[in-house]
Structure 1
Amino acid sequence: MALLSFLKALMAALFTTFSFLKALINKKELYATGQAGDGREKAMLAHVIRTAEKGNPLSVLNVMDAYAKTSGWLMNIGDDKGPILDQALDKYNPRVVIELGTFCGYSAVRIASQLHKEGSKLITFEMSPDNYNIARQIIEHAGLSSKVVSVQGKFNERLDVAKQFLKEMNTTHFDFVFIDHWVHSYMPDYLLLKENEMLGKGTGVIADNMGAFIGPADFRKYVKTHPEELETVEYKSNAEYLWWFPDSITVSTFKPFTRFY
């Protein structure tokens, strides 16, 4: 029985690795469209709608995790690193949240389901129109549409929407920032948030895929060399659904510069 369980786990791991490599080999398509190019994202949506309990965020997340392990690897934060995000949400207990990189809505569901303050909301940006449409349906199936504002487009091109969202939320800054899109955009988008004063004292800035092998070298260096601005803890983990691929998440607290006169 133990041997059978081991063999099943091994086969699942091999399948996930193969599915990941297949997506990576097709990286031109992945970077251009945000999708692997074989229809797995749409198939995942259909599977979630068919099998996950409507209005139950945990059921939706569990089905998405299972699909990524058995039917087609996905760029979700996943069930290995997800608890680190959960702990950060518990620590900062935010009311106003921004996510850069929605993909298919996994982390949006994970975040929105843990926003407990009255009137709390998440605004999330996704460059791919196909992923945007999938994510909206995933979020709706999880019963969280009232807590999530989905925006199609790149954050740096839709800055006005983020500013309007803050105005409508009657605040000047975000309490919690989750960065999980293309690594070359981490640094410029963080600086956009900072320069537009969308970060306040105590804002949590959480970044996925910060491992040495796949992470954004410039932003990774920045969080490590600017402790006066970002008080950072790095949590080691594995890349989504790949136990053999080391990765990490950084959880930083923004500390704005104070002028003394």
Structure 2
Amino acid sequence: MVTVNRQKSEVSSAPAKYHEPVQGTVFHGDGREEALLKHLQSLPDLSPESTAKLPLQERSQRVLNAIHEFGKGENRYLMSVGDTKGRQVESLVREKKPKLILELGTYVGYSGISFARHLLEIHPNSTYPGSWTEDITEDRAGYISLEKSEVYATTARGGFELAGVDKVIKVLVGSSTPNIKTLREKLNMPRPLKFDMVFLDHLKPLYTIDIKVLEEEGLVGPGTTLVADNVVKPGNPAYLSWVRATPAQKRQSLAAPRLTAQPPVTPNPAVEDWETAFCHGPIDETRWAPDEAEGFTAEGDPNLIYTSEMLDGWDPYTGEKDACEVSVCTGRD
């Protein structure tokens, strides 16, 4: 049986509420992302003259604080991990000391700045993405982020530069699933090189298919830590089912006849049932690839074993309960 642990949040109360729940409303892609970049570039405290002599952590924190403050404004909600969950993931980065991190969903760059800034301190002598070649394998470090929107990628790159982490991060624009299939070629990343950590924060229906493709490509495996945001709000039963199921359960599901229609989506459980939910399903939902996967299908590697824990937190602007699922691949059955 795959163990599902629970870890209480380091923060004992919800953050201040700045927005009502935004699901079902326009909450991105309406110009707020371009406005954010212009705002950041206009702030004197973020100018190269003001930050040149600051330690990286202080310089990058200024940018994170500015992004968060911008998101408090009317019609400026930002889809960012925020700091109640983000600080816990940062602690995980410092603990696990990953060299290679993959992010699915750059958005405006908040999580990229938050997590990638630790790589330079943990691995100061490593070779970062701009200098990668096939000959350099042992000492690679870097934060690879996949983003579908060129607009969001441009905003994020601007923030990365202001924060001083642009050397560490490489953003690839395009749909996530096709991008994952060609990652080794695009990154000069020969086998058996894989990612030490993957942060999922893109379109929720793509979580499962994209993890399966990563498994098939050998880009995740024993030793990889997966961190999936928004597993409570809006929730992701299919993804939780895949990482919490045993190899036997996954193999049994994959042996079933191919689905010809999308199965009903399992609703989120009651709060008191989170600790035991999804360890026995809805595993069959993981066999359906959404339209956004652009025709790609994948069975994944059902023999991989994950041990999971949930890091409790909140949406940084609405105060709604949320969490990240942290799944460590401990081996192969």
TM range (shorter): 0.7 to 0.9
Task: Report deviation, 1:171.
Answer: 5.5
Q: How does 1:4-23 map to 2 (within 5 A)?
A: 13=17, 16-18=18-20, 21=22
Task: Report deviation, 1:87.
Answer: 1.4
Which deviates the most, 183-192 or 141-150? 141-150
The match for 2:199 among 178, 185, 199 is 178
Measured on the aligned residues, the alpha-carbon RMSD in Å equals 2.2
Query: Quick one: distance in 2 between partners of 1:144 and 1:236?
Result: 27
Q: Aligned residues: percent identity?
A: 26
Give me the TM-score of the superposition, normalised by structure 1. 0.82
What is the one-letter code of the residue matched to 2:92?
A: A
Task: Report deviation, 1:237.
Answer: 1.2
Secondary structure of the residue aligned to 1:25 is coil
Q: Which has the higher helix share?
A: 1
Q: Is the Cα–Cα contact under 8 Å of residues 98 and 124 in structure 1 kept in the other structure?
A: yes
Q: Is the Cα–Cα contact under 8 Å of residues 166 and 174 in structure 1 kept in the other structure?
A: no
What is the one-letter code of the residue matched to 2:322?
A: D
Q: Is the Cα–Cα contact under 8 Å of residues 232 and 251 in structure 1 kept in the other structure?
A: yes
What are the superposed Cα offsets for residues 200-242 of structure 1, whole Å, 9 maximum, x if unpaired?
Answer: 321111111011x412210022223338711111112112322
Secondary structure of the residue aligned to 1:132 is helix
Higher relative contact order (CA closer than 8 Å, sequence separation 6+): 2
Residue number in structure 2 paired with 1:5: none
1:239 aligns with 2:315: yes
What is the one-letter code of the residue matched to 1:182?
A: L
Residue number in structure 2 paired with 1:25: 25
1:253 aligns with 2:328: yes
The match for 1:78 among 76, 82, 103 is 82
Residue number in structure 2 paired with 1:90: 94
Query: Quick one: distance in 2 between partners of 1:156 and 1:69?
Result: 32
Secondary structure of the residue aligned to 1:191 is helix
Residue number in structure 2 paired with 1:59: 62
What are the superposed Cα offsets for residues 161-207 of structure 1, whole Å, 9 maximum, x if unpaired?
Answer: 42135544886100111010010000000001111111132111111
Residue number in structure 1 paired with 2:145: 124
Query: Quick one: distance in 1 between partners of 2:185 and 2:161?
Result: 23
What are the superposed Cα offsets for residues 88-120 of structure 1, whole Å, 9 maximum, x if unpaired?
Answer: 111211111100000011111112101121232
What is the one-letter code of the residue matched to 1:43?
A: A
1:170–1:57 Cα change, 3 Å? farther
Q: Is the Cα–Cα contact under 8 Å of residues 36 and 155 in structure 2 kept in the other structure?
A: no
1:108–1:161 Cα change, 3 Å? farther
The match for 1:47 among 33, 36, 39 is 39
1:96–1:132 Cα change, 3 Å? same
Q: How does 1:99-248 map to 2 (within 5 A)?
A: 99-115=103-119, 116-117=122-123, 118-119=126-127, 120-164=141-185, 167-168=188-189, 172-211=193-232, 213-226=233-246, 229-243=305-319, 245-248=320-323
**Runs of 5+ in structure 1 lacking a partner?**
1-11
